[in-house]
Amino acid sequence: MKLATYIKQHNEGKRDFAKSVIRLSENIQYEKSYERVEKYDFNDGYLTYKYFKIIRKPILNKPIDYIAVRVRSLKEVYAKYAYTLHLSKLNNYDINDYENMRVVETIHSELNAIGKAYDVYEFDKVTIDIFPRHSEILEECLKVVHSVLPAIKAERKRLFEQANNAITRVLNDILPKVDLTKSEREIVKYIDTALAKRIQRELNRENGTRKFNRNGKSYYVPVDALKMKPKQFIPPKVLKIDFLNLNQHQRKFAKKLLELVQQEFDKGESDNFIFDEDGNIIGIKKRYFANQMGIKESNFKNSLARIQVKYQDYKD
């Protein structure tokens, strides 16, 4: 069946496109292999760390499979929290210091050596007897991973269910907007792009949290923990803006920005603020406020940075 026909039938209530894509995403088959990644000391050039990154190549047959792969990818990224939550403890488990590799990476390395590849959630299929030879270290690594695998899989299932709900809402909203006269390639691209743009907001709505990425670290903050009370937020302090030593152009920029930020805060809208893990506002979404001021994002960032440097010079 052509993709356009499938979507048309969904819009007419004759099929459930979202349900079908989600089901397909759960059954996508991948060819899996490993890629060796090496990290070197910047100063002396010596190899300091190595690991094996799993490479997945999906097996695709129909246009709808490409959408299913996008859905699966979004779900996997969201469910990665299941691994970091439980595997972070294993990363500190010092049983393989000699090889300078973490527990899970040790297993991936040994699997690569015998030409097999498994994702972490599939490690229940990895038993010691599939290895022609093995060390006590590998046996210990498998033991500790298997001990937390049930918790990982349970958390992964819960997160997948949340992601499925969010993805369903996005698909049901965008499918009536698809131009069915376009080619199947164009239709797939439109749906993939719309999913990528809108899924995070829907996931936040689904789990009642906001996700932030700061300094290479990802964390979630419950929406009800976001501190949006007036006395808990002072725009000039958070944005590191004062008017000492600013030229006329900078003063105009700073005044306008502070007004817009305060207006956004007063509306109770948290989407365009950045919060720390305790729910305190520590920044703003620069792209949003650049658009509000009618300024290119790059120019906005440069202007704000120059103003903030003067603030820090003054404080220091």
Domain end residue (candidates: 181, 207, 233): 207
What total of structural domains would you count in the chain?
Answer: 2
Res 90: pLDDT: 60
Confidence at residue 98, expressed as pLDDT on a 0 to 100 scale: 37
How do the pLDDT tens digits run along the chain, 316 residues long? 799 999 999 999 999 999 999 999 999 999 999 998 887 776 777 766 778 889 999 999 999 999 999 999 999 988 887 777 666 656 555 444 434 457 888 899 999 999 999 998 899 999 999 999 888 889 988 998 899 899 889 989 999 999 999 999 999 999 999 999 999 999 999 999 999 999 988 888 887 877 777 877 777 788 778 888 887 788 999 999 988 889 999 999 999 999 999 999 998 888 899 998 888 999 999 999 999 999 999 999 999 999 999 886 555 4
Residues 16, 100, single domain; the answer is yes
- SS3 (DSSP) at 149: helix
pLDDT at 39: 78
Q: Residue 235: which domain range?
A: 222-315
In angstroms, the CA 144 to CA 139 distance is 9
Which of the listed residues 144, 173, 207 is the one where a domain comes to its end? 207
Q: How many other β-carbons are positioned within 10 Å of the β-carbon of residue 287?
A: 12
Domain end position, chosen among 207, 234, 264: 207
Query: Any residues with CB less than 8 A from the CB of 298 and at least 6 apart, and which?
Result: none
Q: Are residues 168 and 26 in the same domain?
A: yes
Instruction: Please answer whether residues 228 and 268 qualify as being in contact, where contact means their C-beta atoms are separated by less than 8 angstroms.
Output: yes
Q: What is the pLDDT of residue 100?
A: 46
